[in-house]
Amino acid sequence: MLIGITGMPGAGKGAIYKVAKKLNIPIISMGDVVRHETIKRGLELNPKNVGDTAIWLREKYGKEAIAVACLNYINEKLKDEEIIIIEGLRSLYEADYLRKHRPLIIIAIHASPKTRFERLKSRGREDDPRDIRDFIERDLRELNFGIGECIALADFMVVNENKDYDTFLKELEGIVKKVIENKERFKEQIQYRS
Protein backbone atom coordinates (compact mmCIF):
# COMPACT_ATOMS: atom_id res chain seq x y z
CA MET A 1 0.00 0.00 0.00
CA LEU A 2 1.14 3.54 -0.76
CA ILE A 3 0.46 6.65 1.29
CA GLY A 4 0.75 9.74 -0.89
CA ILE A 5 1.44 13.11 0.72
CA THR A 6 0.30 16.18 -1.19
CA GLY A 7 0.21 19.91 -0.51
CA MET A 8 1.42 23.19 -1.90
CA PRO A 9 5.10 24.15 -1.44
CA GLY A 10 5.75 25.16 2.16
CA ALA A 11 2.59 23.53 3.57
CA GLY A 12 4.69 21.18 5.73
CA LYS A 13 4.88 17.97 3.72
CA GLY A 14 8.42 17.37 5.00
CA ALA A 15 7.02 16.58 8.45
CA ILE A 16 6.12 13.17 7.08
CA TYR A 17 9.83 12.25 7.28
CA LYS A 18 9.72 12.39 11.09
CA VAL A 19 6.52 10.32 11.15
CA ALA A 20 7.94 7.78 8.69
CA LYS A 21 11.15 7.44 10.69
CA LYS A 22 9.24 6.96 13.95
CA LEU A 23 6.98 4.31 12.37
CA ASN A 24 9.82 2.73 10.35
CA ILE A 25 8.14 3.28 6.98
CA PRO A 26 10.26 3.86 3.85
CA ILE A 27 9.69 7.17 2.09
CA ILE A 28 10.32 8.49 -1.42
CA SER A 29 10.30 12.18 -2.32
CA MET A 30 8.94 13.13 -5.73
CA GLY A 31 10.73 16.46 -5.37
CA ASP A 32 14.03 14.63 -4.89
CA VAL A 33 13.37 12.77 -8.14
CA VAL A 34 12.95 16.10 -9.97
CA ARG A 35 16.01 17.64 -8.29
CA HIS A 36 18.03 14.54 -9.22
CA GLU A 37 16.91 14.86 -12.85
CA THR A 38 17.82 18.58 -12.80
CA ILE A 39 21.37 17.73 -11.75
CA LYS A 40 21.56 14.92 -14.33
CA ARG A 41 20.70 17.50 -16.99
CA GLY A 42 23.74 19.52 -15.85
CA LEU A 43 21.67 22.35 -14.41
CA GLU A 44 22.15 24.31 -11.21
CA LEU A 45 19.52 23.76 -8.52
CA ASN A 46 17.41 26.92 -8.50
CA PRO A 47 13.65 27.57 -8.78
CA LYS A 48 13.69 28.08 -12.55
CA ASN A 49 15.79 25.04 -13.43
CA VAL A 50 13.93 22.67 -11.11
CA GLY A 51 10.59 23.96 -12.41
CA ASP A 52 11.73 23.66 -16.03
CA THR A 53 12.93 20.10 -15.36
CA ALA A 54 9.56 19.13 -13.87
CA ILE A 55 7.84 20.50 -16.98
CA TRP A 56 10.38 18.79 -19.28
CA LEU A 57 9.86 15.42 -17.57
CA ARG A 58 6.09 15.68 -17.97
CA GLU A 59 6.40 16.76 -21.62
CA LYS A 60 8.79 13.90 -22.36
CA TYR A 61 7.14 11.08 -20.38
CA GLY A 62 3.57 12.26 -19.79
CA LYS A 63 1.74 13.86 -16.90
CA GLU A 64 2.47 10.87 -14.65
CA ALA A 65 6.24 10.99 -15.33
CA ILE A 66 7.37 11.50 -11.73
CA ALA A 67 5.09 8.71 -10.50
CA VAL A 68 6.60 6.37 -13.10
CA ALA A 69 10.11 7.10 -11.79
CA CYS A 70 8.96 6.59 -8.19
CA LEU A 71 7.23 3.29 -8.96
CA ASN A 72 10.34 2.08 -10.84
CA TYR A 73 12.38 2.86 -7.72
CA ILE A 74 9.85 1.05 -5.51
CA ASN A 75 9.88 -2.02 -7.74
CA GLU A 76 13.67 -2.04 -7.76
CA LYS A 77 14.51 -1.17 -4.14
CA LEU A 78 11.37 -1.52 -1.99
CA LYS A 79 9.24 -4.23 -3.62
CA ASP A 80 8.92 -6.24 -0.40
CA GLU A 81 7.76 -3.34 1.76
CA GLU A 82 4.16 -3.53 2.91
CA ILE A 83 3.66 0.27 3.20
CA ILE A 84 5.59 3.04 1.45
CA ILE A 85 5.11 6.80 1.74
CA ILE A 86 5.47 8.97 -1.36
CA GLU A 87 6.01 12.62 -0.45
CA GLY A 88 5.14 15.29 -3.00
CA LEU A 89 2.24 13.89 -5.03
CA ARG A 90 1.28 16.69 -7.43
CA SER A 91 -1.54 15.47 -9.66
CA LEU A 92 -4.38 13.04 -10.12
CA TYR A 93 -2.47 11.71 -13.14
CA GLU A 94 0.29 10.61 -10.77
CA ALA A 95 -2.25 9.27 -8.27
CA ASP A 96 -4.12 7.33 -10.96
CA TYR A 97 -0.89 5.86 -12.31
CA LEU A 98 0.16 4.69 -8.85
CA ARG A 99 -3.33 3.28 -8.17
CA LYS A 100 -3.04 1.09 -11.26
CA HIS A 101 -0.19 -0.73 -9.51
CA ARG A 102 -0.83 -0.45 -5.76
CA PRO A 103 -3.54 0.76 -3.37
CA LEU A 104 -3.04 4.47 -2.58
CA ILE A 105 -4.34 6.66 0.23
CA ILE A 106 -3.73 10.42 -0.11
CA ILE A 107 -3.10 12.76 2.82
CA ALA A 108 -3.16 16.49 2.00
CA ILE A 109 -1.37 19.06 4.12
CA HIS A 110 -2.69 22.60 3.86
CA ALA A 111 -1.44 26.04 4.91
CA SER A 112 -2.24 29.55 3.69
CA PRO A 113 -0.10 31.24 1.01
CA LYS A 114 1.18 33.81 3.54
CA THR A 115 2.30 31.09 5.96
CA ARG A 116 3.84 29.01 3.17
CA PHE A 117 5.78 31.95 1.73
CA GLU A 118 7.29 32.78 5.13
CA ARG A 119 8.29 29.15 5.65
CA LEU A 120 9.89 28.87 2.22
CA LYS A 121 11.84 32.11 2.68
CA SER A 122 13.30 30.85 5.93
CA ARG A 123 13.90 27.25 4.74
CA GLY A 124 16.67 28.26 2.36
CA ARG A 125 16.74 25.29 -0.02
CA GLU A 126 18.35 26.08 -3.40
CA ASP A 127 15.08 25.78 -5.31
CA ASP A 128 12.98 27.83 -2.86
CA PRO A 129 11.57 31.16 -4.09
CA ARG A 130 13.68 34.21 -3.43
CA ASP A 131 10.82 36.70 -3.62
CA ILE A 132 7.02 36.86 -3.86
CA ARG A 133 7.18 36.77 -7.68
CA ASP A 134 9.07 33.45 -7.60
CA PHE A 135 6.61 32.16 -5.00
CA ILE A 136 3.54 32.99 -7.10
CA GLU A 137 5.19 31.58 -10.23
CA ARG A 138 5.93 28.32 -8.41
CA ASP A 139 2.39 28.09 -7.00
CA LEU A 140 0.91 28.63 -10.46
CA ARG A 141 3.19 25.94 -11.93
CA GLU A 142 2.13 23.49 -9.20
CA LEU A 143 -1.54 24.32 -9.84
CA ASN A 144 -1.01 23.76 -13.57
CA PHE A 145 0.35 20.29 -12.76
CA GLY A 146 -3.01 19.58 -11.07
CA ILE A 147 -2.06 19.70 -7.40
CA GLY A 148 -5.30 21.51 -6.51
CA GLU A 149 -7.40 18.54 -7.63
CA CYS A 150 -5.09 16.17 -5.77
CA ILE A 151 -5.51 18.19 -2.56
CA ALA A 152 -9.28 18.53 -3.03
CA LEU A 153 -9.78 14.77 -3.52
CA ALA A 154 -7.40 13.61 -0.77
CA ASP A 155 -8.64 10.95 1.64
CA PHE A 156 -7.43 12.96 4.65
CA MET A 157 -6.54 16.63 5.28
CA VAL A 158 -4.27 18.11 7.94
CA VAL A 159 -4.27 21.89 8.34
CA ASN A 160 -0.82 23.19 9.31
CA GLU A 161 -1.62 26.76 10.13
CA ASN A 162 -1.59 28.35 13.64
CA LYS A 163 -0.76 25.26 15.67
CA ASP A 164 2.50 24.31 17.23
CA TYR A 165 4.69 21.86 15.34
CA ASP A 166 4.30 19.02 17.86
CA THR A 167 0.50 19.19 17.64
CA PHE A 168 0.71 19.12 13.84
CA LEU A 169 3.11 16.14 13.94
CA LYS A 170 0.82 14.21 16.32
CA GLU A 171 -2.17 14.83 14.06
CA LEU A 172 -0.25 13.68 10.98
CA GLU A 173 1.10 10.62 12.80
CA GLY A 174 -2.42 9.79 14.00
CA ILE A 175 -3.71 9.73 10.43
CA VAL A 176 -0.83 7.56 9.20
CA LYS A 177 -1.41 5.12 12.08
CA LYS A 178 -5.14 5.04 11.25
CA VAL A 179 -4.29 4.12 7.64
CA ILE A 180 -1.89 1.38 8.78
CA GLU A 181 -4.34 -0.06 11.32
CA ASN A 182 -7.17 -0.11 8.77
CA LYS A 183 -5.16 -0.91 5.64
CA GLU A 184 -7.24 -3.95 4.67
CA ARG A 185 -10.47 -1.94 4.86
CA PHE A 186 -8.89 0.93 2.92
CA LYS A 187 -7.62 -1.49 0.25
CA GLU A 188 -11.19 -2.74 -0.27
CA GLN A 189 -12.54 0.83 -0.49
CA ILE A 190 -9.83 1.81 -2.96
CA GLN A 191 -10.53 -1.16 -5.21
CA TYR A 192 -14.22 -0.29 -5.12
CA ARG A 193 -13.42 3.32 -6.14
CA SER A 194 -11.12 2.33 -9.01
Question: Does position 193 have pLDDT exceeding 60, yes or no?
Answer: no
Reported as a single tens digit per residue, the pLDDT across 143-158 is: 998 999 999 999 999 9
| pLDDT, average across residues 14-24 | 96
Q: Is 88 annotated as a binding residue?
A: no
For 6, 83, 137, the CA distances from 79, given in Å and listed in that order, are 22, 10, 37
- Residues 6 or more apart in contact with residue 167 via CB below 8 angstroms: none
pLDDT at 161 over 90: yes
Are the CB atoms for 8 and 152 separated by under 8 Å?
A: no
Name the β-bridge partners of 110: 159
79 in a known ligand binding site: no
Cα(43)–Cα(47) distance, rounded to whole angstroms? Answer: 11
pLDDT digits (tens, 9 = 90+) for 65-97: 889 988 988 988 898 999 999 999 999 999 999
pTM: 0.87
User: How high is the pLDDT of residue 98?
Assistant: 94
Q: What is the mean pLDDT of residues 97-109?
A: 94
Q: How many CB atoms lie within 10 A of CB 147?
A: 23
* 62 assigned binding-site residue: no
Query: Which class would CATH give 2-193?
Result: alpha beta
pLDDT at 194 over 60: no
pLDDT class for 191, splitting at 50, 70, 90? low
Q: DSSP states of 18-39 as a string?
A: HHHHHHT--EEEHHHHHHHHHH
Instruction: Spell out where 11-122 has E strands.
Output: 27-29, 84-89, 104-110
**Minimal CA–CA distance to 32: which of 73, 60, 82?**
73
Has 12 been labeled as part of a binding site?
A: yes
User: Is position 13 annotated in a ligand binding site?
Assistant: yes
State yes or no: 67 annotated in a binding site. Answer: no
DSSP conformation letters of 123-152: H--TTS-SSHHHHHHHHHHHHHHTHHHHHH
- Give the residue from 109, 51, 98 showing the smallest Cα distance to 194: 98
- The pLDDT tens digits of the residues spanning 27-59 come to 999 888 888 889 999 999 998 899 899 889 889
- Radius of gyration of the chain, Cα coordinates, nearest whole angstrom: 16
